[in-house]
Structure 1
Amino acid sequence: MTKGGRNNNRAHPGILSKAKSVAKGNSMKLFNPFTTIGFSILTVSLSWISSVEARPYPDTVGVCYSFQGDDIERLEPCVISSGSGAGAQYASLNWLDGQTTTIEMSAYCPNQDWDENGFCSYFVNGEVAEAYERDVFWMESNSDSDDEDMPCYRLSSQLSYCYRKN
């Protein structure tokens, strides 16, 4: 109350009538069906969008190799960033000079022609590549799969990139 007996704490007449209605036991409609449906669609859309983004793994230190045919061009420590999502996996080889080589392994195969690794196509920096393995110690191409072999990816120019995580 202020001087003169005026009450400045008056509620809006519409709000007051709704409050009195609820107090008497009359229920108010709290949810609009269109709002509920819209919220449901928004929730499903957001969950779908979040399910197709890449999931990065922690970076690891490893050794990166570059071959021209069977000759080693580069052999150096590197940081390997990898992850998966939306039907593919990737490995980014971060070389010491700041260059990055990105290897993508796609598991999206409309013809269901997966290889023994579960992929059907490979790309190095956006170019189609062929997957194979090299022996870690002798650096030779290896057709027999062994746990000690490192993954390699050969471009049509016979340039290959391989890596080994520590």
Structure 2
Amino acid sequence: MFKVIQKSVGPASLGLLTFRVYASPKKDSPHKTSVKVNELSLYSVPEGQSKYVEEPRTPLEESISHLRRYCEPYTSWCQEMYSQTKSRMQNLVQWGLGSYEYLQDAPPGFFPRLGVIGFAGIVGLLLARGSKIKKLVYPPRFMGLAASLYYLQQAIVFVQVSGEKLFDWGL
């Protein structure tokens, strides 16, 4: 391994060395006079004053400009909505990832309980035939009843807080 490094570092380091090269004119060539920088055509200054002339707009450029002015309020509204909802969407994504991780390592008996609660919602939907108001009221009530059987502590806290809020709202 050391030999490989030695053989590759040697030629590579020679490229970093600098050498001075001195050039001298041939003795039999005639001596020319040196040329000044301002005499070179590359560095010559233009004689006249240049003036910028703006080209007239084409119909395509005009129509694009008109379209941009027309769409500007809508794009600014979209930018405002994006800035307002960005944090909410990030929170929603974090909640979804947290829920996914929870469901991957769910506690024992969680999925049977979830099935019973969902089945209670379907039963409530079947019993609510004929009325749209019943369809809005029965399934959540049946699901809440089934959930309160499995999660009694949380149901008691929920009922207490809801009762206090309803009492405050009633006053």
Q: TM-score w.r.t. structure 2 length?
A: 0.25
The structure with more radius of gyration: 2
> Quick one: higher RCO (CA 8 Å, sep 6+), 1 or 2?
1
The structure that is helix-richer by fraction is 2
